[in-house]
Amino acid sequence: MLTGKTIILGVSSSIAAYKACEIVSRLKKLGADVWVVMTESATKLVAPLTFRTLSGNSVITDLFSEELAKLPVPHISLAKKASLMLIAPATANTIAKLVEGKADDPLTTIALAIKGPKLIAPAMNSAMWQNVATAKNIKKLKKLNWQILGPVEGKLACGDEDIGKMMEPAEIVVEVARWLGGSVGLKGRQILVTAGGTREAIDPVRYISNRSSGKMGYAIAIAAREQGAEVTLISAAKLPDPLDIKVVRVETADEMLKAVLKYYDEADVVVMAAAVADYKYQIPNNKLQTIPKSKIKKTKQGLVLSLVPTEDILKTIGKMKGRKDKVIVGFALETDNLIKNAKKKLIDKNLDFIVANQPATFDSDQIKFSIIDKSGKVADYPLQSKDQAARAILDLAACWCCP
């Protein structure tokens, strides 16, 4: 998706420099030619050899090195071939130098010669970020046509929970791709998302359901729309319709199955975030299983309900999965043996990856989760907003979508 694009990645000496390794890997995976330029201090945090190995290109730490001698004027040659320059992480010091137009190291020298898009992802302690000097510099950088990515709130290296954390590599790469034509992510893709807990009627006033709010599914639908996808949201949640998204309202597991099957074929990515009831009430003496008209009256003898399993939607669509590039994402919520159970579900239902999470997620705006892919690799994600989690999940789905 970024084939033919050359990206210069400037790395300055924030502790977040190690995350720049992931940025390089992701950009490479998308086909970009990546050249890493490091400040001298950054080389004390991450060895240039790491970036050289990941990028497959020489790492620029010295414009006067023998290695670059084959380029007549290295900083101009590199700046000219760049489709985009990204500085991630950017220290307060490097930001200040960019504002002043300084060119006393390879990073700032190349930056000064860049004519194309320039993106910068600051990372620093919150006090440094909130310092008036930095705030003024950021304003000036914007005027100098730098696109500022983040920083975000989170746990900082110093232990504080505050603003200053570098944006996640996956999110930065999505931004880079956007600036290079928006081809990555889910632009033009058809996404089918399910959300909410289904409700299985017992009588006209009662039902069996679960604690799912639908917030995660909605966050995914909205994030996918923001990435340019065509989204169909099959919702059993009591949340308002998001803008610009086709919403199909359902109540029961059977209705959700029917709706999923209706939209399944056209979908490139199916994200099954709904909590579908595993059982439904078997209404006695009712062949069509229509909801009885009368409320069941309370008796002293108590009430025994007979429950029958609902059809397993994930398993049904997992079996149908034929098109090579269709991505199916499942969710597993478990109280016990989370990863073991999630892995089993992933295999049983023929999913591409599964998002494993715990009951604390219910109705919360945040989620702590793990993603397990087909190879069995488990990636743990810290507690974060569902919006942020949605982007991470879609980023992965987009990668799996890549031809």
Ligand X SMILES: Cc1cc2nc3c(=O)[nH]c(=O)nc-3n(C[C@H](O)[C@H](O)[C@H](O)COP(=O)(O)O)c2cc1C
CA distances from 381 to 9, 285, 367 (A): 25, 49, 9
- Stretch binding ligand X (CB under 6 A), from 76-84, 121-129, 205-213, 350-358: 121-129
Distance, in Å, from the CA atom of 246 to the CA atom of 71, rounded to the nearest integer, reads 53
Q: Which amino acid is at 348?
A: D
Q: Which of 1, 2, 5, 12 binds ligand X (CB under 6 A)?
A: 12
Q: Which of 43, 83, 94, 194 binds ligand X (CB under 6 A)?
A: 94
> Is 349 assigned a ligand-binding role in the annotation?
yes
Residue 401 a catalytic site member: no
Instruction: Give the nearer residue to ligand X in terms of CB position, either 20 or 342.
Output: 20
137 binds ligand X (CB under 6 A): no
Both structure tokens of 36: 């890493």
Beta carbons within 10 angstroms of residue 359's beta carbon: 11
> Is 362 assigned a ligand-binding role in the annotation?
no
* Smallest separation, CB 115 to ligand X (Å): 23
Residues 15-54 that bind ligand X (CB under 6 A): 15-16, 39, 41-42
With DSSP H G I counted as helix, E B as strand and the rest as coil, what are the percentages for the chain, rounded to 5?
35, 25, 40
Instruction: Give the nearer residue to ligand X in terms of CB position, either 12 or 83.
Output: 12
Instruction: Give the nearer residue to ligand X in terms of CB position, either 19 or 386.
Output: 19
Of 222, 168, 228, give the one whose Cα is nearest residue 195: 222
* Smallest separation, CB 395 to ligand X (Å): 24
Instruction: Give the nearer residue to ligand X in terms of CB position, either 167 or 275.
Output: 167
Q: Is the dihedral of CA 183, 375, 166, 154 positive or negative?
A: positive
123 binds ligand X (CB under 6 A): yes
* Smallest separation, CB 104 to ligand X (Å): 9
> Is 321 assigned a ligand-binding role in the annotation?
no
Distance, in Å, from the CA atom of 112 to the CA atom of 21, rounded to the nearest integer, reads 24
Q: Measured at the alpha carbon of residue 160, what is the angle toward residues 158 and 165, in degrees to the nearest 5?
A: 80
Both structure tokens of 32: 């970009």
Q: Which of 83, 91, 137, 384 binds ligand X (CB under 6 A)?
A: 91
* Smallest separation, CB 342 to ligand X (Å): 34
DSSP 238-261: SSPPPTT-EEEE--SHHHHHHHHH
> Is 278 assigned a ligand-binding role in the annotation?
yes
Count of residues that interact with ligand X, criterion CB under 6 A: 15
State how far Cα 195 lies from the chain centre. 17
* Smallest separation, CB 41 to ligand X (Å): 4
Instruction: Give the nearer residue to ligand X in terms of CB position, either 95 or 256.
Output: 95
Instruction: Give the nearer residue to ligand X in terms of CB position, either 122 or 330.
Output: 122
Both structure tokens of 364: 């919360």
Beta carbons of 125 and 156 less than 8 angstroms apart: yes
Q: Which of 58, 93, 183, 316 binds ligand X (CB under 6 A)?
A: 93
61 binds ligand X (CB under 6 A): no
Beta carbons of 10 and 40 less than 8 angstroms apart: no
292: cis peptide before it, omega within 30°?
no
Any bridge partners for residue 230, and if so which? 190
Instruction: Give the nearer residue to ligand X in terms of CB position, either 102 or 258.
Output: 102
Which one from 158, 399, 401, 402 is the annotated catalytic residue? 158
Query: Which residue is associated with the tokens 């950009």?
Result: 27
DSSP state of 351: -
Both structure tokens of 204: 């006209």
- H or E segment at 400? helix 386-401
* Smallest separation, CB 122 to ligand X (Å): 7
Q: Which residues contact 240 (CB under 8 A, 6 or more apart)?
A: none
Q: Which amino acid is at 236?
A: A
> Is 331 assigned a ligand-binding role in the annotation?
yes
In the bound state, the residue with its beta carbon closest to ligand X is 14
Q: Which of 92, 193, 354, 398 binds ligand X (CB under 6 A)?
A: 92
- Stretch binding ligand X (CB under 6 A), from 88-96, 214-222, 293-301, 374-382: 88-96
Catalytic residue ranges:
158
Binding residues: 278, 295, 331, 345, 349
Binding-site residues for CTP, in ranges, read 278, 295, 331, 345, 349
| Contact set with ligand X (CB under 6 A) | 12-16, 39, 41-42, 91-94, 123-124, 128
